[in-house]
């Protein structure tokens, strides 16, 4: 298991765990980041990510992406 920030561009993986406070986990779940969901890193710039999850693209900063384990 590793944080999403360690994934390379165009790499697909399955979400294994989401860490953080309940409010943070709930917010990520509302965006589609749930355990078992496939996620693909579209691009990475300065530690910030654009990821594809459930037919939509979402921009995440480094801190938020570090909470998603793949």
What confidence score (pLDDT) does residue 43 get?
94
Q: Using one digit for the tens of pLDDT, what is the confidence trace for 46-70?
A: 889 999 999 999 999 999 999 999 9
Assigned CATH topology for domain 4-69: SH3 type barrels. (2.30.30)
Domain boundaries, the chain: 4-69
CB-side exposure of 20: number of CA atoms within 13 Å? Answer: 18
| Phi and psi based region of residue 23 (left: phi greater than 0; alpha: psi -120 to 50; beta: remaining) | alpha
Q: pTM (2 decimals)?
A: 0.89
| Phi and psi based region of residue 32 (left: phi greater than 0; alpha: psi -120 to 50; beta: remaining) | left
């Amino acid at each position: 298991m590793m944080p999403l920030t360690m994934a390379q561009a165009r790499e697909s993986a399955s979400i294994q765990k989401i860490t953080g406070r309940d409010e943070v986990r709930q917010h990520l779940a509302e965006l589609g980041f749930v355990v078992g969901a496939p996620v693909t890193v579209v691009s990475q710039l300065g530690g910030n990510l654009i990821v594809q999850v459930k037919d939509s693209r979402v921009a995440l900063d480094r801190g938020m992406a570090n909470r998603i384990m793949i």
